[in-house]
Chain A
Amino acid sequence: DGGITQSPKYLFRKEGQNVTLSCEQNLNHDAMYWYRQDPGQGLRLIYYSQIVNDFQKGDIAEGYSVSREKKESFPLTVTSAQKNPTAFYLCATGVAGELFFGEGSRLTVL
């Protein structure tokens, strides 16, 4: 199947732990994005990558890190430095100015 796969769908983390969210795509899109969604707010950009081995900070990059070693993969690490990590995280790819989203990963900090 073609598309964007995010895993895990649900993740629980204790305070002080780092966690990594996976995003894999087989659409052959160059651009990949990570967004955070909180209730009642629009999506906010965490990081984006236009090409392999290059990525840029978005509006709320503090406490997060990413890598882009392969075109197909753009994992997001939520570090212990992120003060309020409980949220719904969405990965997207982009081509010709259009965005396509995965199913999301819900992270809860206990």
Chain B
Amino acid sequence: KQEVTQIPAALSVPEGENLVLNCSFTDSAIYNLQWFRQDPGKGLTSLLLIQSSQREQTSGRLNASLDKSSGRSTLYIAASQPGDSATYLCAVRPRNNDMRFGAGTRLTVKP
């Protein structure tokens, strides 16, 4: 069964810092991986989707990479801002199956 882990559970950084969030998964046979943002009490907002054949995706200050062989993905946030404060979740879609979610990393960016 696919297990998804996100470390650290919480992270606090000063504004302007570049940072990396980590996601690891146990089974490399995946269809895709998706990164989400969740603000307190809200639903999930899709940030980036990486297909299994891709190595990375970029959107603005966000860059997500995927290394299937090692079962890892990273979300890189450049020049962090207080508005980036949220919980970031990764989810993996095993082949022909539903998404498996990590518990998330709660990010705080201090002004």
Interface residues of A (CB under 8 A from B): 4, 6, 33, 35, 40-45, 48, 58, 88, 90, 92, 97-104, 106
Contacts and interface: CB of A to CB of B under 8 A. Distances in A.
Interface of A is mostly: strand
Leading 4 A-B pairs by shortest Cβ distance: A42-B101, A101-B43, A101-B44, A43-B101
A48 B4 contact: no
Interface in B67-90: 89
Contacts, number: 54
Interface of B: 4, 9, 31-32, 34, 36, 41-46, 49, 51, 89, 91, 93, 98-104
A101 B91 CA distance: 13
A88 to B, nearest CB: 8
A42 B43 contact: no
Contacts of B93: 97
Given A41-B103, A106-B41, A98 B46 contact: yes
Contacts of A4: 43
